[in-house]
Chains A and B, each alone.
Chain A
């Protein structure tokens, strides 16, 4: 399978703990995006990388959230001091270097539950 993969698929954590998620994009895609989706809502943009450069970050993203893409391949999203409001599906997507990033390829997501 050469699609976008995410790990873990599910994460249950206690409030106050730190969590880290990983995303492996489609290998030839140099653009990588993180979104968050809550029940009954559409995906909400969090941040975007072009190669290893983080080019945009949502103003809704608190300082507890940080993302990296150190070698321009896989990416990690870390949430520090988790809160119950962080419970959501975290989706990663990728797209190639063309003018067509309106078509993004999504991974299966990591479902986070904060208790």
Chain B
């Protein structure tokens, strides 16, 4: 089977740092993407890791360990507008271009 596990909810305060973890078990793996979705909005792409290590994009960073089937999204200098759901998604590469999404983590940023 295929599964991606994330914490269901995380709460943090403005200016803080928060880490959202993702563990996956899939039959095909090429890389791990992260998407943000505000309430009532469309998912938007944040980051992607194909190799082990950290990828940094502004305030957001994403990490992957292929040997541990584990990744995380790190959000720094939290802002109120970061309150949203965050999804990790496994990409199977060119053989199958679909994304397999995790259950999502609802991040609440408090003042």
Please report the C-alpha to C-alpha distance between residue A50 and residue B97 in the assembled complex, in whole angstroms: 10
Contact B41 A42 (CB under 8 A): no
Q: Give a binary string over B37-53; 1 marks a CB under 8 Å from any A CB, 0 the rest.
A: 00001111100100000
Contact B101 A109 (CB under 8 A): no
Contact A104 B104 (CB under 8 A): no
Contact A41 B103 (CB under 8 A): yes
Q: Give a binary string over A90-115; 1 marks a CB under 8 Å from any B CB, 0 the rest.
A: 01010100010111111111000000
Most buried by B among A42, A43, A95, A105: A42
Task: Report if A102-B31 is in contact (Cβ < 8 Å); known contacts: A42-B87, A44-B101.
Answer: yes
CB distance from A47 to the nearest CB of B (A): 9
A interface size (C-beta, 8 A): 27
B interface size (C-beta, 8 A): 23
CB distance from A95 to the nearest CB of B (A): 7
Task: Choose one: A31, A43, A48, A104; the contact of B45 (CB below 8 Å).
Answer: A104
The answer to whether B107 has its CB under 8 Å from any CB of chain A is: no
Contact A43 B101 (CB under 8 A): yes
CB distance from B36 to the nearest CB of A (A): 11
- For this complex, 10 residue pairs linking A to B, each with C-beta atoms less than 8 Å apart, are A33-B97, A41-B104, A42-B101, A43-B43, A45-B99, A93-B43, A95-B97, A102-B99, A106-B43, A108-B42
Q: Which 8 A-B pairs have the closest CB atoms?
A: A42-B101, A102-B91, A106-B42, A101-B97, A45-B98, A103-B45, A102-B33, A106-B43
Q: Give the B-binding residues of A (Cβ under 8 A).
A: 4, 31, 33, 35, 40-45, 48, 50, 55-56, 91, 93, 95, 99, 101-109
